[in-house]
Chains A and B, each alone.
Chain A
Amino acid sequence: MKRILDRRDFLRGTSGGFGSLALAMMLQEDACADGAVKVLHHPPKAKRVVQLFMGGAASHIDLWDHKPMLEKHHGEKSDFGEHVEAFQNGLGPWMKSPFSFQPYGQSGKMLSDVVAPLGDCVDDMTFIHNLVGKTGVHSQATYLQATGFQRPGFPGMGSWVSYALGSINENLPTFVVLPDHRGFASNGPKNWGSAFLPASSQGTAIFPQRSNPIEDLTPQADFATAEGDRAGLKLLSKFNQQFQRERPGDSRLEARVRSYELAAKMQLSAPEALDLSGEPAHIMKLYGLDRAGATYPDTINAAEEEEYFGRKCLIARRLLERGVRFVQIWSGNDNSFPRRNWDSHEDIERDHGPLARGMAVGTAALLKDLKQSGMLDDTIVLWTTEFGRMPSTQGSKGRDHNPYVFTNWLAGGGIKGGVTHGESDQWGYKPLDRSSPTQVYDIHATILHLMGINHKQLSVRHDGIDRRLTDVHGHVIREIIA
């Protein structure tokens, strides 16, 4: 809906005459025009992306990356064989995961008990255990994973995808963000901002629990009535069209008239997309949403996490069905107390237990649901976080930051199933092969590739530099493509 209103898009629909001249003018004016992908670089395998982002840094070795050596040497003085600069002071004894691991699926992938619901899905997933970051500072690390740069001022991956490919629906945003209901993770909305790309490519945050789930979707005033709005929009359209007719050749004025028509459509379609009341009971159950009216204790608990994360996942599926191209779901708010994110310096079991359970139930439901409808074939699901956590102990039960290695997994949209690509070392401290780790650029390049975009060709001139999502880096990881 937003994208279609971009001046350029609007003009693309017209032909000849002043319209195309004006288009030429705007392409020249607008540095972004060079980058937009008019013809895909190669046939795509995926049309949509879901990015699951764990704020605060989720531990790879307590969820996905099983380390028998830690079980064997639990409690012994840790020895990394080299000097380690810890973010805080988490270089205590080796610590095994408080959760036990079991094999799942045909591939026999070992998963932690807290993510057991995803056991049914492992044969559709590719795990990458040798991701490396650049910093153990939350903010910079979040930027790096979200935008490809560790500083503010760059567009998120969803913005690049929206910018490149545009919208496949008229009534909903192209790029939707479902933030943690308790608050924003590091950097807040800057993680999905459009930066130097057009504002139409920015992520639109949806807060399903608010009276206006999308900012300003409906008027909250006594004097506003449905009838008054209908008549008002008609009046507005009449005089805005008259203003436009008196100023021929300015396509912006025409686009503006149209933007009000599309806004009215979104007012109808957005609440419908967010309304779960028509979902059948078995689907509600699948997403962990079968406890209507349940109350929860004040302390963090798995049932509540399931309900909140599951709701976001189900809404994500409904949005994808309605043509939203990129959905970003956040788990975890800022680094304050009590912990409601993955930054478990004090106690892995206390925070990771319920957060992981909630994430796993919702995510497994989403994967299964997309698969049964066939949408998983052209929808990529990416699970990511800021960095990993150390195999040594912080305090007595916590883990410090580990930017040296962590895990991502992908599924659907042309990704191989049941595969592990790249491993971490025996402790989960650094990549097993330190000379060829995977970086966020490779993940981004691969996702763009699956969507039919050559990551090196999607660039925008900004302050003298041709900027792209992958900076000057990035290799498509061919080994994980089906």
Chain B
Amino acid sequence: MRRTNGIRVCRDELQFLFVNLLSFVGRPQRLMIAGVLVLLLTPMLKSFADVDFVGEIAPLLERRCLSCHNEQDQKGGFSLRTAETAIEDGYVVPGDSVASHLFEVISPGAGKARMPKNSDPLDTEQIKLIGKWIDEGAKWPANFELAESRISDFSWWSYQAIRRPVVPKLRKDWVRNPIDAYILTKLNEKGLTVSDQADRRTLIRRVTYDLIGLPPTPQQVQEFVDDSDPQAYEHLVDRLLESNHYGERWARHWLDVVKYADTCGYDKDKLRPNAWPYRDYVIRSLNEDKPFSRFVQEQIAGDVLFPGDPDGILGLGFIAAGPWDFIGHVEVPESKLDGKVARNLDRDDMVSGALNTFCSITVQCARCHNHKFDPITQDEYYGLQAIFAAVDRAERPYDLDPDIDKRRKALKVVIAEQQKKLDTIASEVEQAGGAKLSELRKEIKGLEVRVSFKKSAEFGYHSSTVKRDDSQKWVEVDLKDSVDASQIVLHACHDEFGGIGAGFGFPVRFQVAVDGEEGEMTIVYDRLQEDVVNPGLEPIVIDLGGRQIRRVRVTATKLAHRKNDYIFALGELRVLDLEGKNQAKGKPVTSLDSIEAPVRWTRRNLTDGEWPHYQDPDAAKTLEVAKRDLAKLNREIETPQRRAERDAATRKMTAARSDLAKLPNGKMVYAAATHFKSQGNFHPTEGKLRPVHVLHRGEISQQRGFASPGMLPLGQGLSWKIDTATTEGERRATLAHWLTDERHPLVWRSIVNRMWQYHFGRGIVATPNDFGRMGAAPTHPELLDWLAVEFRDGGDWLQSQSMKDLHRLIVTSSVYRQSSAGENSNALVDGSNQYLWRMARRRLEAEEIRDSILHVSGAMDHTMGGPGFYLFKLERTTHSPHYEYHKFDPHDSKSHRRSIYRFIVRSQPDPWMTTLDCADSSQSTPKRNETLTSLQALSLLNSRFNLVMAEKFAARVANEHDSVQQQVYQAVRLVLQRDPSDSELKAFSAYAREHGMNNLCRFLFNLSEFIYID
């Protein structure tokens, strides 16, 4: 037991006192608590020693030493847990700091201090303090044990239960809904005043970009400005929320947070050709206004909770969205440390992805030690890893049409039933037929293999003939690119010439060598020392274990006898990659010489995918006899009833099989998976849970006990432990339920805060991924809670968990409709506008700029969904794909689609988009940066995309209008959603006349008014 003396009580009581105190004072700071504690404890503890062990030394040792020097790890054979182990074992010599080992290792001496190892050294004051404590006798209260520092204080705003607050009652016309009431109350409190409502042109531009990410057309602006209906704005909002473009815009926000990309990242950065169905799932879910709980549950455990629903599998793209280390999984086996590190980091990404996204807590800080600021222990962190212990990221099938899935299942049932019937009949027959029957069957099976011979007209490669068997000949296949090869397979020829048949021309002595595209060949198969037995038509398989090769050369040193001469012939050479695909097929063949006598004999026959299979005419005859014998025996055994039953069952089964084959195959999505096709060393767990250990300092080589699965203890009556006997699916399902429990204090606040932030440019909590003590405090805590409850439960203002209703509520508020003009006395009080006395002006995001340029230039193809389009030229895909942006032609109309559908390369992001602050898919981006650089100016002026679009834009207005002035007029209306002023019209027209409309259009894309939304 720890701290049996009175000090513990004393400290705890004081801590309790402070926490209560601080909850009134404001945001508690850990340092402040510590500081105040020390201050108050010091006089009480004076009697122990001059240096206060409990208040000063113990916390220091706990924080900086104990994680290694405890009784469990005992690094250097040294534990600081108790006075016995620290003092009595001689590491601390009371009264003599110079003789104390502890003091020696923390002192810098000549160079750097030896301890703390791999960490920042203690500062001079701390070292002095420890020295003083030792010199004063190293007083250590009896029975006082050090404990690893951990935060156990849940008295922080975000962990408190959410209760529906009472909406302030304000009798003002300005208040359209409760949002206005909360905001206005706070403004009044702060002595701030609201801004005017924005004009209609500003409003339609603002809300259109905000909800669908595209500009309104000049017609739409005109109609809205002229609309006399008092509900015109509400109708506009309804129209925008009904548009499918809404999902395209808001899915991008979600994908920023979940790190979505179409490649794996890390070394090689392999493609994920089937990541996009998850992206389309997010777009569709938002457009369908899917209830938020359902949206969460599908993304964590949809396969378990909604079996048969494709969305349940598509949603799991969430877990797989982040980076994945191909080398660490496919090339390095899980048994090696590097393989284990890769899998640990992979689970870390899943855990942090789920908890950052849905709970806004930085759980990943507890991977190496207890969380330093929030109440999350290392054990709890690894408990979360244990939930993902059996899942990997891989492709798995889903069906878009649930009816098809239903039919597939039904047909499979039919097949299984009929198979069972046939099995029963078969076993009855077996019993009746006895030993004779099984012998006959075995014979027939063997014969049938030999009879199934096939040979094409293309025999293979054939060298020229020589008179001696000892001349050397070679044939070589160039794979044209390096291949990760698992096997080379050689097939001999079959030619009846000279009565030889199978194994025709196969060398008596030979070797196989490979290389990695240049330099010397490495021998991988050596039969040079002894004559080999002709393999006939048995393939020769050479294992390469994933080695990278580019060329394969077979060299014969002792040739095969033909009639009166010697030759080297080979039917087929196959190179199987890690997925078993033949990479040699159709690849060029060179050789020392060749008789080149097509169709039968030519070099290219070596890689034509055709080789002879065994045939034995005698076997066919024997087979017939055996079959007759079997039929006779069967007639003796079988009854007409049995025959009829079997025929019926076979018929039904065949029909079901053929129906099944006609059903469309399940399409693939890259998602969390337990069953998938192996690739190199990357094998499916098939649901078997990997052991997850708590790792000391996050080091894979320093395993502590097994982690027990669980979530986080958040109180509120939420249970958080998971039985260790649960399956992996049950674990994820439990997590999904926990994340959508109405009592959860974080989830509901997290999502409404994210949505608020995207509308206003700043969250009620300014750190949307961190509601912990290192994050920001809410500016409007009651409003946050009111939104969370109203969103969760529904109420007067919105339907339960309808994201569209929440958008509607926000954008129809008076707060949202304010002008963004900011030069007034409010700015002196609240320059950052955190209390929203005006609307925030914002720069368009990278995607909005690109989409707007496509839109106004008339090039936009609005096709939704499907595989991502490339903005680069893709080269050298077999090894490390090269994504060559500078070789891409922006005229390619396949790329003229909305930016949400672009193929996102994780390690080589699009330079144009990156310059404009688009999200980095290597990390969760809850809020984009907004920077201003001269590289942005260059991108918008000179990128080939902008230049091509400027031409298209100019052609569009020229097509619609004759005079330059009319063209300029229309161009300005399209870009800025307003008519040009006289001075603009004059200056722009003059420029266009002198330098062409192309150039004018190019510069219009650079106007601040185009890039900024008031």
Contact = CB atoms under 8 A, between A and B. Distances in A.
A463 B933 contact: no
Contacts of B120: 456, 472-474
B848 interface: no
A216 B934 CA distance: 11
Contacts of A368: none
A198 B908 contact: no
Contact of B987 (A22, A136, A238, A252): A238
A1 interface: yes
Contacts of B338: 85, 87, 135-137
A252 B998 contact: no
Contacts of A199: 914-915, 917, 929, 931, 933
Interface string A441-482: 000000000000000100001011110000011110011000
A210 B944 CA distance: 14
A281 interface: no
B762 interface: yes
Interface in B802-820: 820
Given A338-B517, A478-B111, A259 B933 contact: yes
B662 interface: no
A481 B1014 CA distance: 54
Given A248-B823, A464-B365, A25 B832 contact: yes
Interface string A122-164: 0000000000000111111010000000011100000000000
Contacts of A28: 832
Interface in B230-271: 265-269
Contact of B938 (A189, A202, A215, A339): A215
B999 A224 contact: yes
Nearest to B881: A334
Nearest to A191: B907
A335 B876 CA distance: 12
A70 to B, nearest CB: 22
A24 to B, nearest CB: 6
Interface stretch (A107-115, A226-234, A377-385, A424-432): A226-234
A374 interface: no
A250 interface: yes
Contact of B907 (A190, A256, A336): A190
A25 B267 contact: no
A429 B909 CA distance: 37
A244 B1008 contact: yes
A89 B583 CA distance: 25
Contact of B933 (A5, A243, A249): A5
A87 B361 CA distance: 36
Interface stretch (A39-47, A61-69, A260-268): A260-268
A136 B339 CA distance: 10
A228 B1003 CA distance: 10
B907 A255 contact: no
Interface stretch (A97-105, A180-188, A323-331, A406-414): A180-188
Interface in B326-347: 327-328, 332, 336-338, 341-342, 345
A416 interface: no
B118 interface: yes
B897 interface: no
Contacts of B674: none
A236 interface: yes
Contacts of B548: 337
Q: Which of A28, A137, A236, A463 lies at the interface centre, i.e. has the most chain B CB atoms within 10 A of its CB?
A: A463
B822 A249 contact: yes
A235 interface: yes
B49 interface: no
Contacts of A252: 843, 930, 932
B831 A2 contact: no
Contacts of A248: 822-823
Nearest to A153: B923
Contact of B827 (A2, A21, A262): A21
B16 interface: no
A260 B1002 CA distance: 14
Contacts of A85: 336-338
B624 to A, nearest CB: 53
B520 A347 contact: yes
Contacts of B644: none
B827 A464 contact: no
Nearest to A235: B991
Tell me which of A216, A221, A252 has the highest count of chain B C-beta atoms within 10 A of its own C-beta.
Answer: A216
A308 interface: no
Contacts, number: 307
A156 to B, nearest CB: 13
A253 interface: yes
A372 to B, nearest CB: 33
B774 A465 contact: yes
Contacts of B423: none
B516 A204 contact: no
Nearest to B545: A89
A336 B879 contact: yes
Given A136-B338, A140-B328, A184-B908, A232 B999 contact: yes
A152 B931 contact: no
Contacts of B929: 198-199
A263 B938 contact: yes
Contacts of B984: 239
Contact of B345 (A151, A255, A337): A151
* Residue in B265, B831, B987 with the greatest tally of chain A CB atoms within 10 Å: B831
A188 to B, nearest CB: 4
A2 B519 contact: no
Given A336-B482, A456-B120, A464-B774, A218 B942 contact: yes
A337 B327 contact: no
A224 B923 CA distance: 38
A415 B347 CA distance: 42
A22 B831 contact: yes
A25 B111 CA distance: 43
Which residue, of B356, B841, B922, has the highest number of chain A Cβ atoms within 10 A?
B922
A139 B267 contact: yes
Contact of B1006 (A24, A216, A236): A236
A299 B230 CA distance: 76
Given A187-B907, A189-B908, A223 B996 contact: yes
Given A199-B929, A231-B995, A152 B119 contact: no
A207 B885 CA distance: 13
Contacts of A1: 933-934
A219 B941 contact: yes
A7 interface: yes
A193 interface: yes
Given A184-B908, A223-B999, A153 B922 contact: yes
A394 to B, nearest CB: 11
In this complex, the member of B827, B915, B920 whose beta carbon has the largest number of chain A beta carbons within 10 angstroms is: B920
B327 A2 contact: no
B327 to A, nearest CB: 5
Contacts of A475: 112, 121
A14 interface: no
A307 interface: no
A240 B1007 contact: yes
Given A5-B932, A25-B832, A266-B938, A350 B519 contact: yes
Given A195-B920, A210-B886, A479-B111, A5 B519 contact: no
A227 B995 contact: yes
B418 interface: no
B325 A137 contact: yes
B568 interface: no
**3 cross-chain pairs, A with B, having the tightest CB-CB distances, nearest first:** A139-B267, A464-B362, A25-B832
21 contacts: A10-B932, A18-B827, A21-B828, A21-B831, A28-B832, A183-B882, A188-B907, A221-B998, A223-B998, A228-B999, A229-B999, A232-B999, A239-B1007, A243-B1007, A266-B938, A335-B267, A337-B550, A463-B769, A464-B772, A465-B362, A472-B120
Given A219-B942, A346-B516, A463-B770, 8 more contacts: A28-B832, A139-B268, A184-B907, A216-B935, A235-B991, A253-B1012, A346-B519, A464-B770
